[in-house]
Structure 1
Amino acid sequence: MPLASRLVLLLPLLATLQAVAAEPAAPAQPTLVFMTDFGQRDDSVAICKGVMLGLEPRLRIIDLSHDVEPYSVLDGARFLAGTAPYYPAGTVFVTVIDPGVGSDRRAIVAKTKRGQYFVLPDNGLITLVERQEGLTEVRHLTNSAWNLTPSLSSTFHGRDVFAPVGARIARGDDWTQVGPVLTEWKRLEIPEAKLTDTALNGTVLAIEHPYGNLVTNADGALLAKLGYQRGDTARVTFGKGRELRLPFAATFSDVPLGKPLMYVDSRGRVAFAINQGHFAQQNGIKPLTTFVLRKK
């Protein structure tokens, strides 16, 4: 076939390729991370997701958890801070752990210094994210046009407020239109660990489900300041209980089955466990129990 004829046959293909190249790239799929204490046995989570997808069908919804301990704002705050670093700027977090639903508690939207958005009740859920990430702005969600309907249920703001607002922000609506800027919002009074000349004074923040390990507020780096190295035996007292002697180990299998240990968990915090046992139950420890770890 002559060269000229071949070129004529290629012209339609070239035109098609040029047209495709000229088309704007499809917008990135927006990500929304969703957490509640609703559980999975009824339709509440599915209803909220339906609201979100109705406003933004391209939305990618990631379930952080829907089995947060009921009404535990502290656990919710802890999970948000633990998850946020692994998601990119622009991610929207919608959290509904809302014991005060229907009361005069405020709904807020917070933006972090990394450009993530948090849509949640103003009950302290943002506390640990603020400490860890820093906030650039917090707004009071008062613009009723952003709600699902003008009339709100008194008991299901997850559906009526938080889900639609989160979806609108994720699809690119101007988040500053949700309401006025706030200068103060509720923060949980979460104690910080204190190092003295003789000991580390800390607090158990949570019990890790389902294993019963203790999650504390103490940075693992403080163990070195107490003189501890792996293989040493730690002396620790929980609340008003007796002093326990626990090996400082790297992982659970470093001690025999059923034996306790102190270790640094995957988040870099001092933690306590029993190898294939339940430390909290065996020692009668609940969240917010204090402990004293003696200097070596």
Structure 2
Amino acid sequence: MKKNLLAATFLIVLLLLVKLSSAQNKIVVFQSDFGLKDGAVSAMKGVAMGVSTDLKLYDLTHEIPAYNIWEASYRLEQTVRYWPAGTVFVSVVDPGVGTARKSVVLKTKSGHYIVTPNNGTLTLIAASLGIDEIREIDEAVNRRKDSQKSYTFHGRDVYAFTAARLAAGVISFEQVGPVLPKQVVSIPFQQAVLTGKTIKGNIPVLDVQYGNVWTNIPDTLFKQLDPKVGDMVNVTISYKNKQVYTGTMPYCQTFGAVAEGKPLAYLNSLLQVSFALNMGDFAKTNNVASGGDWSVEVRLK
């Protein structure tokens, strides 16, 4: 009887440890549109270290263009999957700070956590990694002490504080706050689809350093056109359904496959169809930007 009781107790403890382990790798990754010109990012990290000096704090980026919720969504999509399960992300691009938008923690089906306003930031990650559960932050518990009079820095007072408590194991995910329906505020955009011999997609982001144009068209969909290296690709890019660019370029594996200044289609590091000028800036040259309102059509000539 005593052995059975001990075994049952051990099993319960083990299950609890397994349940908490994915939230206790002590890693917190920060993203914002704050930039690094002032002390905002440092303040968030200071709050996190005040919860536990055992935490490991990293930056995704703080150079999201001001108020650009779409790009915040994309940078999470670009990055989260490469971090260990249990990593807690803080994403603060929050033009509606202090308003009725909900502050949430989303747990993906891959076991990652994103602490953020539910304002569209979760659009892409919810679709790609899936929603295991989403909880509204209970600010009566998960808010920095004596910060109630501050309405404009939830990144410091609510998000960094809650993320640190979760990552350090001070609270469980269940203690974040009440469960919400498995849906998020989403920004509309053109999904990648094949219709006949034409693929339609979106331009989620630019390769900001070089001006290359990245699409959301995966290699698996592009391969359904049966492209061969050197085949010519017809590309049409539109903004709010108004054509901005149309042209033809070869499908290549490397930038150097075309002459300097010439366009090419290629697969980027995420294996998505992209466009570039060899040693040039495709986006600037052709007045192309990115976001939910930008769409692209691709077909082989």
Shorter-normalised TM-score: what interval? Answer: 0.7 to 0.9
Structure 1: which 5+ residue stretches go unaligned?
1-26
More moved, 162-171 vs 184-193: 184-193
Q: Which has the higher contact order (CA 8 A, sep 6+)?
A: 2
1:29 Cα deviation after fit: 6.1
Q: How big is the shift at 1:142?
A: 2.2
Residues 113-148 of structure 1 deviation map (CA, whole Å, 9 limit, x = unaligned): 222211110112122211221121101112322101
**Correspondence 1:295 to 2:294:** no
- Secondary structure of the residue aligned to 2:253 is coil
Identical columns (%): 38
Out of 249, 252, 255, which is 2:252 matched to? Answer: 249
Residues 242 and 44 of structure 1, relative CA distance in 2, 3 Å threshold: closer
Matched, 1:61 2:57: yes
**1:42 Cα deviation from its structure 2 partner:** 0.6
Question: Where does residue 238 of structure 1 map in the other structure?
Answer: 237
SS at match of 1:71: coil
**Alpha carbon RMSD of aligned pairs, Å?**
1.7
The 8 Å contact of residues 200 and 295 in structure 1, kept in 2 or not, is answered as: no
1:180 corresponding residue in structure 2? 178
- Residue 211 (structure 2) pairs with residue 208 (structure 1): no
Structure 1 residues 267 and 152, CA, compared in 2 at 3 Å: closer, same or farther? farther
Alignment of 1:143 with 2:139, yes or no, is yes
Tell me the equivalent position of 2:270. 267
Partner of 2:280: 277
Pair 1:156 & 2:165 matched: no
- How far apart are 1:241 and its partner, in Å? 4.3
How far apart in 1 are the matches of 2:172 and 2:220? 42
Q: Output the CA distance in 2 between the equivalents of 1:107 and 1:87.
A: 23
Q: Which has the larger radius of gyration?
A: 1
Shift, 1:223, TM fit? 2.4
Give secondary structure in 2 for the equivalent of 1:75.
Answer: helix
Unpaired segments of 5 or more residues in structure 2? 1-20
Q: Does the 8 Å contact 1:152/1:160 carry over to 2?
A: no
Match of 2:38 among 42, 56, 65: 42
- Asked if the contact 2:70–2:187 (Cα under 8 Å) also holds between the matched residues in 1, the reply is yes
Compared CA separation, residues 107 and 247, structure 1 to 2 (3 A): same
1:74 counterpart (70, 78, 83): 70
Report the TM-score, using the length of structure 2 for normalisation: 0.85
The whole-number CA distance in structure 1 between the counterparts of 2:209 and 2:180 is 38
